[in-house]
Structure 1
Amino acid sequence: MTRDHNNHVPGDRSEMRTLPLPFEAIKLIEDQLRSGSSCRSTRISVLRQIDSWGVSVRKPNYEEIYNRMKKMNEKLPERNYCVFTGDLRVNNIESNLFAFGFQLPAQVRVMRIATSFCLDATHGISARSGEVMYSLVTQHNVTGKGFPVAYMVTNDQTVRSISQWLMHLHERSYFCPLNITIDCSIPKVNAITSAFPHVAIHYCEFHILCAWQTNLDNKVRLDVSFTSAQLEAYKQELKNKQKYILIELNKEVFLTRILDFKRDIPNQLHFLRYFEARWTGSKVLLKRWGRPYVDDLHRRYLTNNYIESWHNQLKTIYFGCARIRRLDCLVFVLTNDVEYFYKQEVDHIHLNNKKMGPVENELARNEFAASKIDDDILSSMIISPLNVISTSMDDSDGEDANHLAMQRPAVLAEEEEVVIVDKEDGREDAVGAQNDVDTSITDLITHTTLLHHQRLNLKHMQTISDIDVSEINDMTRCVKELLDIIDNIRNRNRNSFRNMNTQRQ
C-alpha cells in the first residue's frame, strides 16, 4: 500500500526548500558552534553529516547558521549574564554610537572579591576600525593568572561610555576597586574618577617609559658643536636616570632623583616643561606613576601585563590571528570558548592536575619550612590569641582554644552558583539556603586569607611613629569580634567539630 501524494513530489527540490530545518540539524549546528567552529566551517561539516543520513531534508544555509548563533547570544540574560547597554544619545537624539557589555556569573564572583584591576581597550575586533573592546582583568585568586572579569564593546571611546559601564558594574555586580592600572590615557582617568572618586589610579610603567623616551628623543637637543654620537650618549644617560626614577621604592630617594634629574637638564626647556606638566607638577600626578605611592597589594599591577597578555591570547589563540568581522562572533567566542578554558584552568588546580596556584604554593612552602623545625621547640612557637608565647599545647590564656582553628590553611574554592528556586518548594529552598551559606563562607575564607597576607604590613606599622592608635584598636576589636562569632558557632555545634577533629587525627 502506497501513500497518495496529491500535488506533491517526494524529494523534489522545489518543495524541500520550504521545509523547516529538522531538530537534529539544529542541535548539530549548536553543538558545532559551542565547540568553537566558525559559521563557515560549521556549515560545511553539517552539510556533510546530513548527506550521510540518506534522507531528504532541507540543508541549512550560511544565514541560518549565523542566525542560530545570534539567537544563542541573545539568550545571555536568561543564562544569568549581567548585560550592559549604554545610553549614548546626544541631546536625546539617537546616534550611531553604541556600547554593549556583559559578564559571566563566574566573572561576577571573582570581581566581588578582587581589589586591583587592569583596564584597557583592544582594536581590530571587527571589520569596522572604530569598534574596540574594553576589558577589566584581575589576578584570579585560585590560578594566580590574569582573568578577565568584564567586557564592553563600543564605537565610542569617550569618557561617557566608559563611565556608564563602570557605574553599571558598581551597581549590578558590586564592583568596588581600590586600585586600577591603565595606560597613560586621560579619558580613562576622567571616566574612572567620575565613577570612583577615591580609587587609586596607576599608570602602566611600560607605557610611562615609552612616553618618556619618545618625548626625550623628540625634545632633547644639543648645539651644533656636539656630534650625533655624543647626542645619542647624552640621551641614553638621561634614559637610564629615568629608569632609576621609575623603579625607586623609597619616597625620599624617589623625590631626590626627580630633583636631580631636573637639575641635569636646565637647558632642555622643551622637555622640562613637558616632564613637569605631565608627570611631576603635583602630588596627584606623582601618585599615578610613582612606586612609593603604590599599595603593596597592587605591586603585581605595576604594568598592564595581565591585560596585554589577555588581549594577545584572544587574537592569536581564540581568533586564530584572523579578524572577526561580526561582533556577535566575538560575543560567541567570549561566552563559549573563553569561559570554558578558564573554568578548566580552575578545575585543574582543584584536582591537583596541574601546577599549583599561588595559595597552594605558599602553603607548600610553609609546610616545607615547618617540616624542618625540631619537634622539641614546636610548642614554644605557638602564639596564643593574646600574643603570649605558649609553653604548653593546652595554654589558651583563659580563652577558648577555638581561636587556633583560624590558623589552619584556608583553601580557596570556586564558589557554587546559587540556584534560584520556587518559594513553594521547601526542598529547593533548603538547597538555595545551603548554597547561600557555602558562598558566604567561601567569601569569608577568601577575606581571611587576604588578612593573612597583610601580616607584613601589620608588622611594618610598628615602625611608623605617627600612626593613630585608635585605628589599631579598631582593627583589633573587629578581629576579636570575628573570632568570638566563630567561637560561638563552634560551641553551638560541638559534636560536629568534635567529629571533624577526630577525622583529622
Structure 2
Amino acid sequence: MIDNSDTELLAIRKALGDNCRILICHWHILRAWRKQSMEKVFAKDGVRKTVAEIKAHRQEGLQGMIKMMMAGTKADYELCYLDFSSWCLDFDDEWDPSDLLVYFDCEYSNKKEKWSNTWRHQNLNIDTNNYIESWHHTFKESYLSTLKKQHVDVLVYILWDLVLRDVMEDHIKTTNHFQSIVMNASEKKRQRIAYRLSEQEA
C-alpha cells in the first residue's frame, strides 16, 4: 500500500512486475480530495456566495468521489462516476466545478482498481499505510538517529538483533497484560482515522 505516487508505482512495477498487487492509501487520497475540492470548486466570477454555501458545495463534490471509493460493485462504481461527472459538468450560472472532474480523471480514473472498494478485496480491512509510516518514523528516530553510516549490514543487524527483540518483548507484555498499548497523539489520531475509514467501508 502506497501514497498516490506515480514514481513509487512505477518503481514497484519495475522491481516486482505486474503480479504484485498495489493499493493506494485511502487516508492520503481523502486528504488530496479535500484539498482539491477546496481549490477547484468555486462560484463563478461575480456570483456572491456565503462561506457556508461554498463549503457545502465543495462537500458535495467530495462526497461524490467518496461514493466511488466506497462502491461495492462495478455497476455501483460506474453509476457513482456518472453522477459525479454530471454534477461537475451540469453546472449552472453560479458554480463551475469542472476542474474537479479534470483532476479526478487525470489522477484517479485510470487507477480505480487500486483505491475503490469495488476491486479492493482480501485486504483485511487495512485501507491506510499510516501505521507503517508511523513505525518507520519511530524506527528512524529511535534506532537510526545516532548512526552516521547506514550500510545494509548494519540495518540488518539493527532489525534482527534490536528491533525484533523489542517488538517481541512489547508483544508478549501487551498480550499478557503486563502493559497497555501506548500510543502518542499522532498515532491515536491515525488510529481514529483508520477506524472511521473502516466504519464507512462497512
Contact in 1 for aligned 2:68/2:80 (Cα 8 Å): yes
- In 2, Cα distance between equivalents of 1:240 and 1:259: 14
* Aligned counterpart, 1:277: 106
The answer to which structure, 1 or 2, has the higher relative contact order (CA under 8 A, 6+ apart) is 2
State the SS of the aligned residue for 2:150.
Answer: helix
- In 2, Cα distance between equivalents of 1:330 and 1:193: 23
- In 2, Cα distance between equivalents of 1:228 and 1:203: 32
1:341 aligns with 2:166: no
Shift of 1:232: 1.6
Which is richer in strand?
A: 1
State the SS of the aligned residue for 2:157.
Answer: helix
Equivalent of 1:238 in 52, 61, 71: 61
In the alignment, residue 215 of structure 1 is paired with which amino acid? Q
Unaligned runs of 5+ in 2: 92-96, 177-202
State the SS of the aligned residue for 1:328.
Answer: coil
In the alignment, residue 135 of structure 2 is paired with which amino acid? W
* Aligned counterpart, 2:31: 210
Tell me the TM-score normalised to structure 2 length: 0.68
1:188 aligns with 2:8: yes
Unaligned runs of 5+ in 1: 1-180, 357-505
Contact in 1 for aligned 2:41/2:57 (Cα 8 Å): no
Shift of 1:209: 1.1
Identity of aligned residues (%): 24
Matches within 5 A, 1:353-502: 354-355=174-175
- In 2, Cα distance between equivalents of 1:278 and 1:234: 21
* Aligned counterpart, 2:120: 294
Which is richer in helix?
A: 2
1:303 aligns with 2:128: yes
Task: Work out the number of aligned pairs and report it.
Answer: 167
Tell me the TM-score normalised to structure 1 length: 0.30
- Structure 1 residues 128-158: Cα deviation after superposition (integer angstroms, max 9, x where no partner): xxxxxxxxxxxxxxxxxxxxxxxxxxxxxxx
Contact in 2 for aligned 1:220/1:271 (Cα 8 Å): yes
- In 1, Cα distance between equivalents of 2:148 and 2:170: 33
In the alignment, residue 257 of structure 1 is paired with which amino acid? C
Contact in 2 for aligned 1:318/1:337 (Cα 8 Å): no
- In 1, Cα distance between equivalents of 2:161 and 2:34: 39
In the alignment, residue 313 of structure 1 is paired with which amino acid? T
Shift of 1:183: 0.8
- In 2, Cα distance between equivalents of 1:194 and 1:337: 26
- In 2, Cα distance between equivalents of 1:270 and 1:217: 11
1:308/1:348 Cα in 2 relative to 1: closer, same or farther (>3 Å)? closer
1:329/1:191 Cα in 2 relative to 1: closer, same or farther (>3 Å)? closer
State the SS of the aligned residue for 2:118.
Answer: helix
Shift of 1:244: 3.3
In the alignment, residue 252 of structure 1 is paired with which amino acid? A
Contact in 2 for aligned 1:184/1:203 (Cα 8 Å): yes
Shift of 1:348: 7.3
Q: Which has the larger radius of gyration?
A: 1
* Aligned counterpart, 1:219: 40
1:315/1:192 Cα in 2 relative to 1: closer, same or farther (>3 Å)? closer
Shift of 1:286: 1.2
1:347/1:318 Cα in 2 relative to 1: closer, same or farther (>3 Å)? closer
1:342/1:206 Cα in 2 relative to 1: closer, same or farther (>3 Å)? same
In the alignment, residue 230 of structure 1 is paired with which amino acid? E
1:312/1:338 Cα in 2 relative to 1: closer, same or farther (>3 Å)? farther
- In 2, Cα distance between equivalents of 1:338 and 1:239: 44
- In 1, Cα distance between equivalents of 2:65 and 2:165: 42
